A and B are shown apart, each in its own frame.
Chain A
Amino acid sequence: MAVITRGFGGRRRDDTDLPPGQYRTDDFPVLSAGPTPRIGLDKWELAVVTETGERSTWSWAEFTALPADEPTVDIHCVTHWSKFGTRWRGVSVDTLLADVETAAEYVVAHSYGGYTTNIPLEDLLDGQAWVAYEFDGEPLVPVHGGPARLLIPHLYFWKSAKWLRALELRLDDEPGFWETAGYHNYGDPWREQRYRAD
Chain B
Amino acid sequence: MARAAVPGRLTWQAATVAATRAETATARTLVLDVDGWTGHVPGQHVDVRLTAPDGYTAYRSYSISSAPGPDWLEVTVQAVTDGEVSPYLVDVAEPGDQLEIRGPLGGWFVRRPADPRPALLIGGGSGVAPLMSMVRAAMNPTRLLYSTRSPSDALFTSDLATARAAGDGLVAVTHVYTRVAPPGWPAPPRRLDADALSRVAWPRDADAVAFVCGPTGFVETVADLLVDIGHDPANIRTERFGPTGG
Contacts and interface: CB of A to CB of B under 8 A. Distances in A.
Contacts, number: 139
- Judged by DSSP, the binding face of A is loop
Interface in A45-94: 79-80
B237 A34 contact: yes
B240 A32 contact: yes
A35 B59 contact: no
A34 B244 contact: no
Interface stretch (B5-13, B119-127, B141-149, B182-190): B5-13
Interface stretch (B48-56, B128-136, B158-166): B48-56
A34 B210 CA distance: 10
Contact of B52 (A5, A28, A114): A5
B39 interface: no
B196 interface: no
Contacts of A25: 243
A120 B204 CA distance: 41
Interface in B225-246: 226-227, 233-234, 236-240, 242-246
A181 B238 CA distance: 15
8 contacts: A5-B93, A8-B58, A8-B92, A10-B58, A31-B240, A36-B223, A177-B108, A181-B3
Interface of B: 1, 3-7, 9-10, 14, 47, 50-53, 55-61, 84, 88, 92-93, 97-100, 105-109, 216, 220, 223-224, 226-227, 233-234, 236-240, 242-246
